[in-house]
Amino acid sequence: MKNFPYLVSFEVPGFLTTHPSSSIKLLSPVEGEPGKWFDQVFFDATNSIGKKFYPILRLSDGEYQALFGRRSWNSEDRITTNILRLAQHFRDWLRRGRGIYAFTEGVYSSGVYDGHEVQAIRKALTDSIMLAFSKGRVALHLNVIPGRPFCEQYFKDIDSLIDQLSLKFGADNYCPFYFVYAMLLGPYANRLYSARSILVVHSATGEKQSRITASLLRLGAARVRWVTISKDRSCFDVLSLSDLDLSMEICLVGGGLGKGNLIPQLAGFKGPVIDAGYVLECYADERLKFCRVYCASDTEWLERGVNNVFDLNI
Q: What is the pLDDT of residues 261-296, one digit of tens each?
A: 999 999 999 999 999 999 999 999 999 999 999 999
Amino acid letter, residue 165: L
pLDDT interval class at 150 (50, 70, 90): confident
Residue 303 has pLDDT above 80, yes or no: yes
What would the mean pLDDT of 56-60 be, rounded to a whole number? 97
Alpha carbons 314 and 311: distance in angstroms, whole number: 9
Residue-range definition of the domain harbouring residue 130: 6-63+119-311
Give domain status of residue 54, yes or no. yes
Give domain status of residue 284, yes or no. yes
| pLDDT computed for residue 1 by the predictor | 86
What would the mean pLDDT of 48-68 be, rounded to a whole number? 95
Give domain status of residue 90, yes or no. no
What would the mean pLDDT of 56-79 be, rounded to a whole number? 83
Percent of the chain with pLDDT over 70: 89
Give domain status of residue 81, yes or no. no
Give domain status of residue 74, yes or no. no
Give domain status of residue 236, yes or no. yes
Per DSSP, the residues of 63-106 read HHHHHH------TTS-HHHHHHHHHHHHHHHHHHTT-EEEEETT
Give domain status of residue 78, yes or no. no
Reduce the secondary structure of 193-245 to three states and give it as a string.
HCCCEEEEEECCCHHHHHHHHHHHHHCCCCEEEEEECCCCCHHHCCCCHHHCC
Residue 104 has pLDDT above 50, yes or no: no
Q: What is the largest CA-CA distance in the chain?
A: 53
Residues 6+ apart with CB under 8 A from 216: 193, 198, 200, 224, 283
| pLDDT computed for residue 100 by the predictor | 62
Could you give the number of structural domains in the chain? 1
CB 49 within 8 A of CB 272: yes
Q: Flag whether the pTM goes above 0.75.
A: yes
Give domain status of residue 273, yes or no. yes
**To the nearest whole number, what is the mean pLDDT of the chain?**
90
CB 199 within 8 A of CB 227: yes
